[in-house]
Amino acid sequence: MLFSLPLSKIPTHWYNILPDLPQPIAPALHPGTRQPAGPQDFATLFPMNIIEQEVSSEKRIAIPEEVRQIYALWRPTPLRRAVRLEQALGTPAHIYYKYEGVSPAGSHKPNSAVAQAYYNKQAGVKRLATETGAGQWGSSLALACSMFGLECVVYMVKVSFHQKPYRRSLMHTWGATVHASPTKHTHYGRKMIEAHPDSPGSLGIAISEAIEDTVTHPGTKYALGSVLNHVCMHQTVIGQEAIDQMELAGEEPDVVIGCAGGGSNFAGIAFPFIERNWHRNKKHRLLAVEPASCPSLTKGEFRYDFGDTAEMTPLMKMYTMGHDFVPPGIHAGGLRYHGMSPIISQLHHLRLIEARSYPQAPVFDAAIQFAKTEAIIPAPESAHAICAAIDEALDAKAKKEKRVILFNLSGHGFMDMSAYDSHLAHKIEPI
């Protein structure tokens, strides 16, 4: 069952949750002085128009027309009711999913990549440097840069560089330069290779390399695919559309679920619903799902930490595994980040959202059950949300209650078929 919206229903504004938070997030700290960081401390990395968004107290920020026109290539994205999955589970629950895999890069990430490329272009930037885990963010930024005529250089975590060769091909096709991180191109990369010649890399290391590249190349700025406030905000087009689509379906979700790496796709579906809890007296539960092998929200500490391994970024107060944590090479590469968005961390600290973690094997079982019933092959990251949605549906069945479940299917798994092969051959690590 499909609930589709006309082009005119692409949101006109992003929702900035910052001014609505019951308690503000702690300020970022300068990595040297450990004093609250001002806009100037971010200016080597980001153009001023993005920094202004990062700290904005405006609740609604207009989406530039050029960005909306590019969104219109794949937005509004579909929202469907998973009737066949409900039947297979024998649950009285209704399961809905918002499908972000229809974007050209196959995930939610272009929602922010396009916006970031646009603002950098406006600010006169010529080249963007970034890191990527599974390659989803790198391919999204490569796509966005090609739309606006910017150069793009991507530091890709080494284990994914080899596991996901076709993501690399996507980036090349859209014109980006891609390096396997740790690389020999940066001082920090060379240091890491000397210390650990077999390092599989990590997002933290790749971020350090992209930042070093940025500060050593004039005309270059840095782009981050998750975690930061402006990235979470760009993703709120997802939840705003979902609210309109649930209205078409004539239901309200009891629980809204998203997987969480750095937190932006969860933010995208959840924040507009949290706003309704605060201002319209609704009682939606919000559930973030993460891998058991990188459980920042469920097992991490809530404290100040660096965003990268080399301690170059400002410190942010967030749930973290520690900035030198190197998670195992699970297939959900997009969920291998040591920290969590400071906003989502704050919401969890205040107990305004829930969090849960799952090991890899049940996540792939859920992915396969979804593929066999709803036909779409999900990204391993998104399968974490499916796993939680199935658990919620089975819990509703056990309690004989009607529960309306909405989850964000953040991407398709066409570039992850080797992970499916490993699972089907029972070779997946039970982590």
Ligand X SMILES: *Cc1c(COP(=O)(O)O)cnc(C)c1O
Q: In this structure, are residues 155 and 183 in contact, taking their beta carbons and an 8 Å threshold?
A: yes
Residue in this structure with the two tokens 């790496």, named with its chain if needed: 261
Strand 404-409 and strand 94-99: the pairing is parallel
Name 328's Cβ contacts closer than 8 Å, sequence gap at least 6: 293, 429, 431
Task: Work out how close the CB of 269 gets to ligand X at its nearest, in angstroms, rounded to a whole number.
Answer: 10
Task: Work out how close the CB of 382 gets to ligand X at its nearest, in angstroms, rounded to a whole number.
Answer: 5
Task: Work out how close the CB of 73 gets to ligand X at its nearest, in angstroms, rounded to a whole number.
Answer: 18
Pairs from 30-33 (Cβ < 8 Å, separation ≥ 24): 30/314, 31/306, 31/311, 31/312, 31/313, 31/314, 31/315
Task: Work out how close the CB of 24 gets to ligand X at its nearest, in angstroms, rounded to a whole number.
Answer: 22
Structure tokens at 152: 């793009």
Task: Select 109 or 158, whichever has its Cβ closest to ligand X.
Answer: 109
Task: Work out how close the CB of 167 gets to ligand X at its nearest, in angstroms, rounded to a whole number.
Answer: 10
Chain residues in the site for ligand X (CB under 6 A): 107, 109, 136, 226, 259-266, 334-335, 379, 381-382, 410-411
Strand 315-320 and strand 301-306: the pairing is antiparallel
Distance CA 339, CA 348 (A): 13
Task: Select 92 or 362, whichever has its Cβ closest to ligand X.
Answer: 362
Residue nearest to ligand X (CB): 411
Task: Select 47 or 263, whichever has its Cβ closest to ligand X.
Answer: 263
Task: Select 161 or 396, whichever has its Cβ closest to ligand X.
Answer: 161
Task: Select 76 or 380, whichever has its Cβ closest to ligand X.
Answer: 380
Distance CA 227, CA 54 (A): 11
Conformation bin of residue 356: beta by default, left when phi > 0, alpha when psi is -120 to 50: beta
Task: Select 188 or 337, whichever has its Cβ closest to ligand X.
Answer: 337
Task: Work out how close the CB of 290 gets to ligand X at its nearest, in angstroms, rounded to a whole number.
Answer: 9
